[in-house]
């Protein structure tokens, strides 16, 4: 019969337990293997000065004084901006048939969290565990991204829980729950995927990296500001959901929270103002708005730095935290001020600008709308004015994602526009370079023509007259009566005069192929030059070929080619010590090719290049460079030289 009693007890005990549960208060939280919200009906709260002791006795006193009030309806408990300590109270019952470990989790940064447990609601609540969000997840009593406070309950046991929270860095915005450790860990395991963080973080980081690459190529500062903007806002959002405690090392994590979560949002807004100023081209057409944008960005950076330096000293100097409250209030006011000023700048450009400015303002306004809407919803929730949560993880994260989509499209268009501008700039620079080269060549041509005329019209006749006078009848009569040594000197002097006349004629011919009328075409000019140079009794034999098709080239190109051929020929005659020199001028499909080669002593091209070549070769390189051509030198010591010039036509 014993087994019948066991069956009867197994049936009657759950019925009694259920009856007891029905008789319990309505705000009691019946803990099961998996527990889901909303949690508001089960919680009560109050604010208490931080100067009061953080003990179980204080918790019991607050409850006895009826200071704790029901949590207002809504998804998240929002107490607004305050420096006070927040107390939460919950009555829980373990409905599981075994001793179970539960965890009270706070999914938000807190300076400190302490859990007090009052078994069966009797006696003073005793301190069970405490934690802080100032350390990374692995170093907390319960290693998780949230601030977790574990406690044990026996089977079917009840307890009253008191949770004290302190957060001096901003508003008291407390998403929280109480569940088993198994249920909590199962939720945390899929959190990043369920809350869309996997692809959101991928979008943020890839967008920042893409713009840093664009900056490396274009040196456009808008991409650098964009990268900083995405970095700050992404870190802010990671801190919002505690992902920084999971992913960052302690040093970086602590530095982020010393700066402050809302200071990162402030820095992001400052970078956003710079992006807007560059995109709208405020510097060119709106100097006052441009200065305003710099003031806003400077205030954001300065306030963030000041907050990082002053927050902890103010907190230590003022136990009640009133001074820090003013510092937090100023930061909040600046956040709203930058958001409003950005809207003002957009509206001013759109209402008063010309069509191009209005178009830019409209495009950027569409982009900014997503971020602005998400930011307003986020900040209003934080201040406790509204309790609207439409998407996971929050409206700001999705607003940023939509903004990045549209802003990336706009910056891609800006990238294409920049490429077009660069192409136009290169074309303009080439045209200016070509014009400068033409002017330089024309100046050289005028100078050469003047010098050639002086040689031909002044120096050459004088030398001819001197030569004729030196061969005159009186000179010869005097030499007939003079010693033989004077006759030898006369012959040497006459030969020298003849050589000087020849050199002057050759030089004037090389500098200007004709002195009267239009210059001859390139084949005729080169032929005349080589014929003149071949008149010397001593010197190399010059062979010449000039393609007849070169006569159809533009006259400036023909003149430049003639100058280079003349310079290279004179170099070969003066320095090569060659027996033969070859000149080859050919018109190719897309270029003019000039080749002057010899069988002389040759030289080392590298050594010649190291000492920057002779004056003649430097002039040829410079002239070819002006015409976008290039010079190739082929030579070896003792094996002659070949100079090749190619000019695009």
> If DSSP states are collapsed to H, E and C, what string results for 424-479?
HHHHHHHHHHHHHHHHHHHHHHHHHHHHHHHHHHHHHHHHHHHHHHHCCHHHHHHH
Alpha-carbon gap, residue 160 to 268, rounded angstroms: 43
What average pLDDT does the chain have?
82
- The pLDDT tens digits of the residues spanning 185-213 come to 999 888 888 888 888 888 888 888 888 88
Q: How many Cα atoms within 13 Å fall on the side-chain side of residue 386? A: 9
> How does DSSP assign 370-435, residue by residue?
HHHHHHHHHHHHHHTS-----SSS-HHHHHHHHHHHHHHHHHHHHHHHHHHHHHHHHHHHHHHHHH
What band does 6 get if pLDDT is binned at 50, 70 and 90? Answer: very low
Arithmetic mean of pLDDT, 293-321:
88
Alpha-carbon gap, residue 644 to 647, rounded angstroms: 10
User: pTM of this prediction?
Assistant: 0.63
**Strands 171-174, 77-81: pairing kind:** antiparallel
Arithmetic mean of pLDDT, 340-363:
90
Give the rounded distance of the alpha carbon of 184 from its chain centre: 41
Examine the pLDDT at 10 and tell me if it is beyond 60. Answer: no
Of the two residues 649 and 294, the one the predictor is more confident about is: 294
CB-CB contact of 520 with 514 (8 Å): yes
Examine the pLDDT at 514 and tell me if it is beyond 90. Answer: no
Arithmetic mean of pLDDT, 155-163:
96
**Helix (H, G, I), strand (E, B), or coil: what is residue 202?**
helix
pLDDT of residue 383: 73
What band does 4 get if pLDDT is binned at 50, 70 and 90? Answer: very low
Q: Exposure string (b/e) for 360-375, b if CB count within 10 Å is 16 or more? A: bbebbbebbbbbbbbb
pLDDT of residue 507: 64
Arithmetic mean of pLDDT, 273-298:
92
Q: Which H or E element spans position 115?
A: strand 112-119
Alpha-carbon gap, residue 498 to 480, rounded angstroms: 22
- The pLDDT tens digits of the residues spanning 379-433 come to 887 776 777 777 777 888 888 888 887 877 777 776 677 677 778 878 888 777 7
Q: What are the backbone dihedrals phi and psi of residue 172, each rounded to the nearest 5 degrees, phi first?
A: -90, 100
Of the two residues 273 and 636, the one the predictor is more confident about is: 273
Q: Give the DSSP letter of residue 572.
A: I
Q: Give the least confident one: 267-276, 285-294, 498-507.
A: 498-507
Q: Is 579 left (phi over 0), alpha (psi -120 to 50) or beta?
A: alpha
What band does 459 get if pLDDT is binned at 50, 70 and 90? Answer: low
**Helix (H, G, I), strand (E, B), or coil: what is residue 196?**
coil
């Amino acid at each position: 019969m014993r087994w019948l009693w066991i069956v009867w007890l197994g049936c009657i005990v759950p019925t009694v337990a259920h009856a007891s549960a029905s008789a319990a208060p309505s705000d009691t939280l019946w803990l099961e293997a998996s527990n889901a919200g909303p949690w508001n009906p089960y919680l009560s709260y109050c604010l208490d000065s931080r100067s009061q002791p953080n003990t179980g006795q204080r918790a019991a006193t607050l409850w006895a004084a009826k200071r704790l009030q029901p949590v207002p309806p809504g998804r998240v408990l929002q107490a607004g901006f305050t420096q006070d300590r927040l107390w939460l109270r919950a009555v829980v019952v373990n409905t599981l048939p075994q001793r179970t470990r539960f965890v009270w989790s706070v999914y938000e940064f807190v300076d400190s969290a302490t859990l007090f447990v009052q078994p069966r609601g009797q006696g003073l609540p005793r301190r069970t565990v405490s934690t802080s969000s100032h350390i990374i997840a692995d170093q907390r009593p319960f290693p998780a991204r949230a601030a977790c406070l574990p406690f044990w309950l026996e089977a079917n046991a009840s307890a009253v829980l008191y949770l004290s929270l302190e957060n001096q860095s901003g508003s008291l915005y407390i998403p929280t729950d109480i569940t088993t450790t198994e249920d909590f860990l199962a939720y945390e395991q899929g959190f990043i995927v369920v809350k869309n963080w996997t692809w959101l973080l991928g979008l943020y980081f890839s967008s920042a990296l893409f713009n840093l690459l664009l900056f490396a190529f274009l040196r456009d500062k808008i991409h650098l500001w964009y990268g900083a903007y995405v970095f700050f806002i992404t870190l802010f959002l990671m801190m919002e959901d505690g992902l920084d405690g999971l992913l960052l090392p302690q040093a970086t994590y602590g530095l982020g929270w010393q700066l402050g979560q809302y200071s990162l949002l402030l820095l992001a807004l400052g970078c956003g103002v710079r992006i807007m100023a560059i995109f709208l081209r405020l510097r060119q057409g709106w100097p006052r708005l441009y200065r305003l944008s710099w003031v806003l960005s400077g205030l954001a950076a300065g306030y963030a730095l000041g907050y990082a330096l002053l927050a902890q000293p103010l907190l230590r100097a003022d136990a009640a935290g009133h001074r820090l409250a003013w510092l937090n209030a100023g930061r909040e006011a600046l956040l709203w001020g930058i958001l409003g000023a950005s809207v003002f700048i957009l509206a001013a450009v759109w209402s008063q600008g010309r069509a191009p400015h209005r178009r830019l303002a409209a495009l950027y306004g569409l982009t900014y709308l997503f971020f602005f809407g998400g930011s307003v919803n986020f900040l209003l929730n934080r201040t406790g004015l509204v309790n609207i949560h439409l998407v996971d993880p929050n409206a700001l994260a999705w607003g940023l994602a939509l903004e990045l989509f549209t802003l990336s499209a706009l910056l891609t268009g800006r990238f294409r526009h920049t490429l077009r501008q660069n192409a136009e700039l290169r074309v303009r620079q080439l045209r200016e370079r070509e014009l400068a080269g033409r002017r330089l060549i024309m100046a050289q041509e005028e100078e050469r023509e003047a010098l050639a005329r002086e040689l031909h019209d002044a120096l050459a006749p004088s030398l001819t007259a001197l030569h004729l006078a030196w061969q005159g009848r009186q000179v010869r009569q005097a030499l007939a009566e003079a010693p033989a040594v004077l006759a030898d000197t006369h012959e040497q002097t006459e030969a020298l005069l003849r050589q000087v006349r020849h050199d002057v004629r050759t030089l004037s011919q090389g500098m200007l192929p004709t002195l009267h009328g239009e210059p001859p075409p390139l084949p005729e000019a080169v032929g005349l030059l080589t014929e003149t140079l071949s008149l010397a009794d001593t010197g190399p034999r010059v062979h010449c070929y000039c393609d007849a098709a070169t006569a159809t080239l533009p006259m400036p190109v023909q003149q430049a080619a003639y100058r280079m051929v003349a310079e290279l020929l004179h170099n070969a005659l003066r320095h090569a010590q060659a027996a033969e020199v070859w000149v080859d001028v050919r018109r190719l499909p897309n270029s003019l090719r000039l080749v002057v080669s010899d069988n002389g002593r040759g030289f080392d091209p590298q050594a010649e290049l190291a000492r920057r070549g002779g004056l003649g070769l430097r002039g040829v390189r410079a002239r070819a460079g002006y015409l976008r051509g290039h010079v190739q030198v082929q030579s070896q010591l003792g094996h002659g030289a070949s100079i090749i010039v190619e000019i695009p036509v």
